[in-house]
Structure 1
Amino acid sequence: MVRYSDFGAQGNGKVDDMDAIVAAHAFANEHGFPVRADEGAAYYIGGKDRTAIIQTNTDFGTASFVIDDTDVENRNAPVFLVSSSLESFKPEGLTSLKRNQEKIDISLPGPCLMTVTDANTRRYIRFGPNQNDGSPQTDIFIVNQDGHVDQNAPIIWDFNQITDMTALPIDEARLTITGGRFTTIANQAESKYTYYSRGIAIRRSNVLVDGLQHHITGEGDHGAPYGGFINISNCADVTVQNTMLTGHKAYRTIGSAGVPVSMGSYDISVNRALNISFVNCRQTNDINDSRYWGIMGSNYCKNLVYDHCIFSRFDAHMGVANAAIRNSTLGHMGINAIGSGVFTVENTTVRGRTFINLRDDYGSTWRGEFIIRNCVFVPANGRPASASLIGGSNSGQHDFGYTCYMPERITIENLHINDSNHPDQYQGPAIFSNFNREKTDASYVEKFPYVISKEVILRNVTTSSGQDLRLSENPYMFKEVQVKAD
């Protein structure tokens, strides 16, 4: 067992203990020893450009850590980096891939996490105030030593050309991080997109984080945003449980389209990661307080799960393949996603503007199906609102780099809509919001056709207002949808 005090940490909350923390983990990694914080210690971590590398089980216990971001040398350097001792490598010989391909012609030393890129194809060409010219097509999936692709996280793109490919071996043994009470003294930087990454970065597969707390102090009237105190990337099979996190105050800046925007600021960030679960987690501040940004953001992920969580938001920016929210409560920013596969929401209360919002900045696309079961929807957290279950918009005039779909099938079973506080002339909740106000007859032409849902299956949908569920404010757009009510 290695303790921080073994390497000179004072734990008095005043002296910067970062050098001792870095040294303790370096020694532990070299010898394969676990690390344990001293009981009840208070570790002050200043703004030095230092990162402690965690490669062995670590118990932060009852210790507290104060991370002072008021004067930081390198905002991109995490305080802790959970990494594998296994080295990534570049496999040879693979030139193309197909969507849903089950086996690739490659041999590996063991199960590996594969990241594949085609730099000549652009996807996720963003629309709106934060517009951009997209990102290179990328995919991430697990392959065993014989080349079989894990079909629980399938390949989602055709790759006619592979410009880069990396294989990262997956650790067989689980690494566990437990306990710890962390407090960030927020940065006072200018309010622009200079993200701070001063937290725990997880870059190793097969990790459990259990019983951690993160608090934030010192937020004023300006500041730079955060990229996730828990930042999970380029890995698989990570579970965060029994953990308390904090939403960050939202500050405004000028976006890429030259208009003011609120900057996303996250306590959870998940990118290029598979099989990531948050279990029995919640946040310290009010999930319905709009001064604080939604707590989570993700890109390029597969199999994201919330189970028994109380959070202000679930969010998938640049696509998630398969997601599930169970036994949870979602606050003012609700559920936001684009992606593919099956999205399941069960035994959950949603208090956002819509039950599920398909992000319009990425084309409001979901290539797959939605399953909503045993849930409660409180539109706009009970403020007067014309409720709709599936929100989003797509004019058919913007090229997002892919064909945009609505869920082919939507199954809604045992849903109660608490719409008792509604505006005058309320006509009842809609299945679909008005995705395109211009498309009201056959004269409207989409340059990039939007593929509409085929069927909606309804079983026991009730409303507090007593009003029936209707199709949409724009019935023409959804006229081909078959609604089946049991």
Structure 2
Amino acid sequence: MMKCILLFLMFLLLNCVLVTHAQEKNSLENSIVITSRAQKTQVYTNNNKLQVNISPKDVLKFKAAGSVSYSDFGAIGNGKTDDMDVIAATHAFANLHGLLVKADAGATYYIGGKERRAVIQTNTDFGTATFIIDDTDVKNRNAAIFTVSSGLKPIKLENISSIRRNQQKIDVPLPGPCLITVTNSNIKQYIRFGLNQNDGSSQTDIFIVDKNGKVDMNAPIIWDFDQITEITALPIDENLLKITGGRFTTIANKAESKSTYYSRGISIRRSHVLVEGMQHNIKNEGDHGAPYGGFINIGNCAYVTVKNTILTGHRTYSAIGAAGKPVTMGTYDLSVNRAVNISFVNCSQTNDINNNKYWGIMGSNFCKNLLYDNCTLSRFDAHQGVANATIRNSTLGHMGINAIGSGLLTIENSTVRGRSFVNLRRDYGSTWHGEVVIRNCVFVPAGGKSVSASLISGFYSGQHNFGYTCYMPERITIENLRIDDAIHPDNYQGPAIFSNFNPEMKDNTYQEKFRYVKTNEVILKNITTASKKVLRLSDNPFMFKDVKVKTN
């Protein structure tokens, strides 16, 4: 009798805990309700609300094992039956009990177009399983398939009315290390120029502090905020969450070719995450389609590493831009936004990094401390600013290195096959407020095509207000660079340090409405060319006449 009473009480306790936790997570996990009634373990929907019942016996079994698999909840894994509800339910239960999630070895999970996402808060091993993501009929293109999230809640900060560039501390007590995001919506920056012109983005910054508010100066505050309209602390999880393995295939959408971005991948919104051993392929791209915002999409977090991962570049499509003219649309397999200390290590792509039929694989905005190490990818790109970036032991394809930002940009032991070695993006003012170091590298201009080579390219008319003062790198140091310019035009005069940033600036009569702060000095050591022609300053020597070039 006593044994029966104890079992009944255990059942009630489990049922109560599971339902309560589900209520707290409803907004995050698409209204998943978990119960533990004395019935079989099953997953079903009721008015699009996901109902999950786990028998008390299975609860005890899963907790004792420390892990749970998709098949434990009824996943078929035959590549035809939509298993998304079961996948979401499995992760919801694992999150509740802190369990490892394992995909079933050799299974193929089909994921259709319904709106359902799986929230990952525990270690996940996708192993040798295959996931087919069918984007041909999607209910909500903005809904990620997997969202990696933290159980720690954001904290709205009060009584901070301003912060300053390079400020070392904010006066606020915190529960532990936090990622601080700050915005002043009254100031617009990154006011884009060109065919994709826009009115800019609200002034923003993101930085790490400890529990006492001390700023990590490896990723300092980069703007003065005279006003703050929003400031939030995102607590940083201290333990590393690991997501390993998995073979993912996206069946590409057939939507109209316009800027209606699809986000049907893995969204990482938690700090301290390792993604390792993953592969993403793309099938059935046709002559049109909407662009993608990144299969791996990292944002509002810190300390994320993507390692030993194979990705795929998306086909390039055109649309009518903001200026009313056709433009190619950016479309990405890697996307990083408002994030700090993000590393890509030993990553590559399935398609040719030199084939311009495919758009450059990575884009980023508002980031700090980005790293490529031992990567073979078609592009590194920082749109709306990166503070500090490092590319080493890597090969960059046809779109090369595109960057604007600040701090130190380091490229070493790498090969770049873009039209220039570093392109300072003209649509955001060709600005780099800091230094560039190029060391032990090879430059193959335009992948070996016949072009006039330049190391640093960009454009600045001085007539457009980008919302900030624009700078060229204060100092550029180039050591041990081999320029493979054997194929070049007949009138080739040799590679230039700088491209012609402003063909109209020929003498002192040209006036910039908005000042461009030019490079102070260039330091050169051991520069060799296949053409045997000497590295020269620029096709526009007047614009760069005050740059000091030192040869060691």
Q: Give TM-score, length-normalised by structure 2.
A: 0.88
Distance 1:243 1:136 in 2: 34
Sequence identity of aligned pairs in percent? 73
Task: Determine which of 218, 225, 240 is the counterpart of 2:291.
Answer: 225
SS at match of 2:298: strand
What letter is aligned with 2:154?
S
- 1:253-301: per-residue Cα shift (whole Å, max 9, x none)? 0000000000000000000000000000000000000000000000000
What letter is aligned with 2:96?
E
SS at match of 2:427: helix
1:70 equivalent to 2:136? Answer yes
What letter is aligned with 1:379?
P
Deviation at 1:409, TM superposition (A): 0.1
> What residue in structure 1 maps to residue 479 of structure 2?
413
Deviation at 1:147, TM superposition (A): 1.1
Structure label with greater radius of gyration: 2
- 1:404-451: per-residue Cα shift (whole Å, max 9, x none)? 000000000000000000001110000000000010100000000100
1:276 equivalent to 2:339? Answer no
SS at match of 1:300: strand
1:295 equivalent to 2:358? Answer no
- 1:178-223: per-residue Cα shift (whole Å, max 9, x none)? 0000000000000000000000000000000000000000100000
Deviation at 1:343, TM superposition (A): 0.2
Distance 1:218 1:273 in 2: 32
Deviation at 1:317, TM superposition (A): 0.1
> What residue in structure 2 maps to residue 57 of structure 1?
123
Distance 2:211 2:158 in 1: 14
What letter is aligned with 1:233?
G
Distance 1:142 1:20 in 2: 37
Distance 1:77 1:7 in 2: 23
Residue pairs, 1:43-442, within 5 angstroms? 43-442=109-508
Distance 2:339 2:165 in 1: 18
Deviation at 1:107, TM superposition (A): 1.0
> What residue in structure 2 maps to residue 454 of structure 1?
520
What letter is aligned with 2:383?
H
Structure 2: give runs of 5+ residues left out of the alignment. 1-66
Distance 1:355 1:290 in 2: 17
> What residue in structure 1 maps to residue 42 of structure 2?
none
Deviation at 1:105, TM superposition (A): 1.1
Distance 1:172 1:429 in 2: 48
Deviation at 1:119, TM superposition (A): 0.5
Structure 1: give runs of 5+ residues left out of the alignment. none
Deviation at 1:123, TM superposition (A): 0.3
Distance 1:453 1:425 in 2: 27
> What residue in structure 2 maps to residue 473 of structure 1?
539
- 1:118-158: per-residue Cα shift (whole Å, max 9, x none)? 00000000000000010100000001111100001100000
SS at match of 2:404: strand
Deviation at 1:302, TM superposition (A): 0.2
SS at match of 2:213: coil
RMSD: 0.4
- 1:23-52: per-residue Cα shift (whole Å, max 9, x none)? 000000001001000000000000010000
What letter is aligned with 2:350?
T
Higher RCO (Cα < 8 Å, 6 or more apart): 1
Q: Give TM-score, length-normalised by structure 1.
A: 1.00
Deviation at 1:104, TM superposition (A): 1.2
Distance 2:207 2:139 in 1: 35
Distance 2:155 2:177 in 1: 13
Deviation at 1:92, TM superposition (A): 1.2
What letter is aligned with 1:222?
H
The structure richer in helix per residue is 2
Deviation at 1:315, TM superposition (A): 0.1
Distance 1:11 1:426 in 2: 59
SS at match of 2:382: strand
What letter is aligned with 1:94?
I
SS at match of 2:156: coil
